[in-house]
Amino acid sequence: MGHFLKHISKLSLPVAILLLVGIGLLWLPSFTEQSGGNVMLTLLLTLFAAALLQFFFHFSGLTRDTDILPAVLYFAAISVFPTLHTLWQGQVGVCAMLIILHILFRGFREKETAKDAFISSLILLLASLLVPDMIWLFPFIWIAYIILSAFSIRTMLATLIALGTFVIYMGLGIYLQRISNPFLYILDRQFIFESADPEEWVMQAALMCMGCYFFIITVIRVDRDSVRQQAVMTLFALFFAPCIMMVLYPMTPMRTLPLMLAMLSGLAVTFMRQTESVHRGIIFLLYLALLAAGYVVPTLVLDL
């Protein structure tokens, strides 16, 4: 039993693919209850985001070619929330965020990161047109480059140039009435426990607590892992914290939840890919059980 628990998170490729197919079945009710076009678009974007997360971990050296745990965990985290099955804007935000993380990690200990800083900042700002709360992540790009030992005055100036470019674009778009200002109500927020249904915020709160546990373990172990693994864990931990606040006090409820789930999935993978132990096997099973309960209780039990 101990051996099984120790290696349970090392899914074989056939088992992982079977899990992905099984998780995909959770989307079927949404096709009958919601707009089929929106559901299909969101599903495709979710799969693309899962592939980006998988690619990031493969690029960083934390996973093997046949290890698709990152894609499985993220796809599962999104699939258990039927409300997210039509919020394609949130998936666009996640895709943008994962691309930004890849660009940031590429600059690890590099001396010249101005170009990457400009691109990552501009991607973040453009994504905030669909998920306005992402604008709060802008200063965390500076913090990320500082942590990655790649920050310089040119890097900061590049991000500010990106911000200036975005402001000009926004101003022209609003003046020509091509776009509306998505940030008008950026400070008009509501505590999630006052706005969402109990079965939704209870699940979100449970996942936040699980994420905080991964966060704490990540910080505690960060000095005992390889330098590259340390950088990956730090990036996900860095952006997980503001994502929690964006979920707790959202401008647009649920639209920021996929961002938090993506960072949570990243922390979960880094946690599972540390030294195997019975403890990690048990946490992995508990995490899957929590995701399963989050789908079964609201959709089946409470509807009876």
- Ranking 81-95, 125-139, 260-274 by mean pLDDT, the lowest is 260-274
Q: What's the CA gap between 127 and 94, in Å, rounded? A: 9
- Of 154, 150, 140, nearest to 242 by C-alpha is 140
User: What percentage of residues in the chain have a pLDDT greater than 90?
Assistant: 36
For residue 188, the one-letter residue type is D
In which band, very low, low, confident or very high, does the pLDDT at 92 lie, cut at 50, 70 and 90? Answer: very high
Q: Which pLDDT tens digit goes with each residue over 174-196?
A: 888 778 888 887 777 777 777 66
The predicted structure's pLDDT at residue 223: 52
Compare 270 and 120 and report the one with higher pLDDT.
120
Mean pLDDT, the chain, as a whole number? 84
For every residue of the chain, DSSP letters joined together read: -HHHHHHTTS--HHHHHHHHHHHHGGGHHHHHHS-HHHHHHHHHHHHHHHHHHHHHHHHHTSS-TT--HHHHHHHHHHHT-GGGGG-HHHHHHHHHHHHHHHHHHHTTT-S--HHHHHHHHHHHHHHTTTSGGGGGGHHHHHHHHHHTT---HHHHHHHHHHHHHHHHHHHHHHHTTSS--TTTTTT----HHHHS-HHHHHHHHHHHHHHHHHHHHHHHHGGGS-HHHHHHHHHHHHHHHHHHHHHHS-SSTTTSHHHHHHHHHHHHHHHHTSS--HHHHHHHHHHHHHHHHHHHIIIIITT-
Q: 212 pLDDT exceeds 60?
A: yes
Q: 153 pLDDT exceeds 80?
A: yes
Q: What's the CA gap between 173 and 243, in Å, rounded? A: 28
In which band, very low, low, confident or very high, does the pLDDT at 102 lie, cut at 50, 70 and 90? Answer: very high
Q: Interior CA angle at 126 toward 121 and 132, to 5°?
A: 105
Q: What's the CA gap between 46 and 94, in Å, rounded? A: 9
- Of 146, 141, 143, nearest to 117 by C-alpha is 141
Q: 42 pLDDT exceeds 80?
A: yes
Q: Which pLDDT tens digit goes with each residue over 11-34?
A: 778 888 898 999 999 999 888 888
Q: 230 pLDDT exceeds 60?
A: yes
Instruction: State the average pLDDT over residues 43-57.
Output: 94
Q: 141 pLDDT exceeds 90?
A: yes
In which band, very low, low, confident or very high, does the pLDDT at 224 lie, cut at 50, 70 and 90? Answer: low
The predicted structure's pLDDT at residue 231: 78
Token code pair at residue 268: 């979960």
The predicted structure's pLDDT at residue 304: 45
The predicted structure's pLDDT at residue 221: 66
Please name the residues in contact with 111: beta carbons below 8 A apart, sequence gap of 6 or more: 150, 152
Instruction: State the average pLDDT over residues 79-90.
Output: 91
Instruction: State the average pLDDT over residues 160-173.
Output: 91
Compare 143 and 59 and report the one with higher pLDDT.
143
Instruction: State the average pLDDT over residues 96-102.
Output: 94
Model pTM greater than 0.85?
Answer: yes
- Ranking 66-75, 156-165, 276-285 by mean pLDDT, the lowest is 276-285
Q: 46 pLDDT exceeds 60?
A: yes
